[in-house]
Amino acid sequence: MSSSPWTYFAAQRWAKDQLAGSDVDPHAPQFLLEQRHNWDTTHLLVHNREAMPPAEAQWFRQAVAQLLDHVPAQYITGMTNFYGRKFKVTPAVLIPEPETAELVDWVLASTPADRPLRVLDLGTGSGVIGITLQLERPQWSVTLSDISPAALAVARTNMQRYHLDLSTVESDLFDQLSGRYDLIVTNPPYIDRADTAIMDQAVRDHEPAIALFADEQGLGFYHRLFKQAGTHLNVGGAIFGETGYDQEESIQELLTKCDPKARMTVRHDVAGKMRMVHVWDFSGTGGN
């Protein structure tokens, strides 16, 4: 870096050189600047030739060093984008992936828009699923629950950002929850700890283990959920959830074992791998 003022363009060029040859997303430095200033790509281009303040230049150099240490850019800025909105994230919560937006799409497309439903975002983390559903369907009544008080604190901050006053409950699955729901939507822990070696390093080293890993080859959470769902869903109620790409057969076998009456459909990603499930007709809910 020269002694002359660093422009935003020069800073990004420097960052590109620093990240060359690494496995870090080359767009991450741009994301850092856009999130820090609440700019979009066009606004960043507008400011490209401006001098970066010295304090920001110091922050940017440190942030790029964190990227090289596989710290997710979203944790560095404390913000992420989801469903066209901004959400706070910390290392206490998962960073939402594109599949999570696809899960929200599936829920919205599969559910009548004009019905006031009681909805549970189970294992809410940052709250992106439940908050997005509430914003997209204002007539719904959404509850956010999580076993982690630190995650719920992040979710409450995101609720306040969008002027919502949703019920939040610290609960291990249904332990502290009462009543029945029309929809349960979840992005639960579903990774087998034996798969740690093949995980993305940034996820493995920095995202919360409690939200990533489950016992029983990654199906422990779903085992408990399928066993208890019938007593927590209304007649016609359903579950939508994310799963592991290699669990298509095992999760269907698990459902049959837990509740032979229940039915499941699955959704695949662009690579043809199963990534989410829709489950309904649990015993005790009456079905449709």
Percent of the chain with pLDDT over 70: 98
In whole angstroms, what is the distance from residue 62 CA to residue 150 CA? Answer: 26
Cα(138)–Cα(122) distance, integer angstroms: 19
Q: With a cut of 60, say whether residue 287 has pLDDT above it.
A: no
Top pLDDT among 96 and 1 is at 96
Q: Could you give the angle at which helices 220-228 and 248-258 cross, rounded to 10 degrees?
A: 30
Q: What is the pLDDT of residues 203-223, one digit of tens each?
A: 999 999 999 999 999 999 999
183 near 238, Cβ under 8 Å? yes
The contacts of residue 195 (CB under 8 Å, 6+ apart) are 218
Q: What is the per-residue pLDDT for 4?
A: 60
Give the tens place of pLDDT for each residue, 76-100. 999 999 999 999 999 999 999 999 9
Confidence band, pLDDT 50/70/90 cuts, at residue 225: very high
% of the chain residues with pLDDT over 90: 88
pLDDT at 272: 85
Whether residue 68 contacts residue 14, with contact meaning beta carbons closer than 8 Å, is answered with: no
pLDDT of residue 197: 81
Q: What pLDDT score does 113 carry?
A: 87
Q: Please give the Cα distance from 198 to 217 (Å, whole number).
A: 15
Q: What is the per-residue pLDDT across 152-202, written as a single tens digit (0 to 9) for each?
A: 999 999 999 999 999 999 999 999 999 999 999 999 999 999 888 888 888
CA distance 214 to 86: 29
* pLDDT tens sequence across 129-155: 999 999 999 999 999 999 999 999 999
The DSSP code sequence of 231-258 is GTEEEEEEEEEE--TT-HHHHHHHHHHH
